[in-house]
């Protein structure tokens, strides 16, 4: 990627002077990894983000919109363009509809909905990151997924240059997938439609979910959540090699989805360390930064895992984490 020219930078800064230069992305990612963003702008409202995008487009500046940085790996060299962080945290609850700006934290939304007596989103309580990012990746855990609760999404369709409101169907959600991963859109706000519940029961469910996360996933470590998608298969022969050596958990067979963490575990890779990055001893699909790890260390570990899982089980792992600046 080419360096931005002084003219490009000047043109941007003249219109949006609050933009920071050479902002270390390690300070904005859960992994605590990443070199500088040449330009870094925190957009407090959707129209501010839109203005920044339009200037970037006009000046030929590459741009990237980030949510909470919880599922993001930024290269050690950083990003030679503009990073826009969506920081609008406006939240409105009306009857059973919760409308949240893209920058609202998922956990905050989950607790607010529960307090208001709405059910069905307790599972969101322990997910790090923003609701915009959650919709983008159809985030989910413990049986829930964004696709089950999203009624509509307001976004900027970059190709058409207009604001659009998309229904749940139009978002084309799939496992850790959505329309937004395939065509450039910027998510501005999300409306969830939730069933009526009971505040006390929801609070109990939230406590249960948080304690399960504490037990099953690494705590207190810098990570980007699960690094790989679980492997979906249609053809049972995909499992031939794996079946010879291991008994595959029934739940995985039922869902036709083999856990990436389970595979990493079976490949004996938990605890493997490169530089200051480690495959978590607690869960095979989490790579943790032990302190001072580089993006290169994470990539090297990720390649090692992909190779070993391919060689041993004939299965291909795909990244779940988003990459920037590579």
Site string for ligand EPU, 267-306 (x = CB under 6 A): ---x------------xxx---------------------
Which one among 249, 271, 292, 314 touches ligand EPU, defined by CB under 6 A? 249
CB nearer ligand EPU, residue 42 or residue 224:
224
In this structure, what token pair is assigned to residue 145? 């997924």
Chain residue at closest Cβ approach to ligand EPU: 225
Stretch that binds ligand EPU, among 40-48, 51-59, 90-98, 261-269 (CB under 6 A): 261-269
Q: What is the DSSP letter of 174?
A: B
Angstrom distance (rounded) from CA 56 to CA 62: 7
Which one among 100, 109, 125, 226 touches ligand EPU, defined by CB under 6 A? 226
Question: Which DSSP string corresponds to 117-156?
Answer: TB-S-GGGGG--SBHHHHHHTT-EETTEEHHHHEEEEEEE
Which one among 77, 232, 265, 312 touches ligand EPU, defined by CB under 6 A? 265
Which one among 69, 132, 133, 261 touches ligand EPU, defined by CB under 6 A? 261
Q: Is 229 a residue that touches ligand EPU (CB under 6 A)?
A: yes
Which one among 93, 109, 113, 141 touches ligand EPU, defined by CB under 6 A? 141
Q: Is the dihedral of CA 259, 129, 301, 320 positive or negative?
A: positive
For Cα atoms 212, 217, 223, give the angle at the middle one, nearest 5 degrees.
140
> Considering the complex, what minimum distance in angstroms separates the CB of residue 51 from ligand EPU?
32
> Considering the complex, what minimum distance in angstroms separates the CB of residue 249 from ligand EPU?
5
Q: Is 135 a residue that touches ligand EPU (CB under 6 A)?
A: no
Question: Which DSSP string corresponds to 179-235?
Answer: GGGTS-EEEEEEEEE--B--HHHHHHHHHHHHHHHHHHS--SSEEEEESBPPEE-SS
Buried b (16+ CB within 10 A) or exposed e, 167-178: ebeebbbeebbb
Binding residues for ligand EPU (CB under 6 A): 141-142, 216, 225-226, 229-230, 249, 259-262, 265, 270, 283-285, 320
């Amino acid at each position: 990627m080419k360096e931005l020219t002084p003219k490009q930078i000047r043109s941007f800064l003249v219109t949006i002077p609050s933009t920071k230069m050479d902002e270390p992305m390690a300070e904005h990612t859960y992994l605590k990894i990443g070199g500088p963003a040449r330009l870094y702008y925190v957009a407090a409202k959707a129209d501010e983000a839109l203005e920044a995008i339009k200037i970037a487009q006009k000046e030929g500046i590459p741009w990237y919109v980030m949510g909470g940085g919880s599922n993001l790996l930024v290269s050690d060299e950083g990003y030679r363009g503009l990073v826009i962080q969506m920081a609008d945290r406006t939240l409105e609850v009306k009857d059973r509809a919760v409308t949240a700006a893209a920058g609202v934290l998922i956990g905050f939304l989950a607790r607010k909905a529960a307090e208001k007596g709405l059910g069905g989103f307790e599972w969101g309580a322990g997910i790090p990151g923003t609701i915009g990012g959650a919709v983008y990746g159809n985030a989910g855990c413990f049986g829930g997924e964004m696709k089950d609760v999203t009624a509509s999404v307001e976004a900027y369709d970059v190709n058409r240059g207009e604001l659009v409101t998309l229904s749940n169907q139009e978002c084309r959600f799939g496992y850790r997938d959505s329309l937004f991963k395939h065509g450039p859109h910027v998510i501005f706000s999300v409306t969830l439609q939730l069933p009526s519940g009971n505040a006390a029961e929801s609070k109990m469910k939230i406590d249960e979910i948080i304690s399960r996360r504490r037990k099953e996933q690494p705590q207190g470590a810098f990570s980007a959540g699960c690094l790989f998608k679980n492997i979906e298969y249609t053809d049972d022969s995909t499992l031939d090699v794996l079946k010879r050596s291991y008994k595959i958990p029934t739940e995985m067979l039922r869902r036709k989805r083999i856990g990436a963490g389970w595979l990493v575990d079976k490949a004996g890779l938990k605890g493997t360390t490169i530089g200051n990055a480690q495959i978590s001893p607690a869960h095979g699909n989490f790579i943790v930064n032990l302190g001072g790890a580089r993006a290169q260390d994470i990539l090297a570990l990720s390649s090692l895992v992909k190779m070993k899982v391919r060689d041993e089980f004939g299965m291909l792992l795909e990244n779940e984490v988003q990459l920037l600046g590579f």
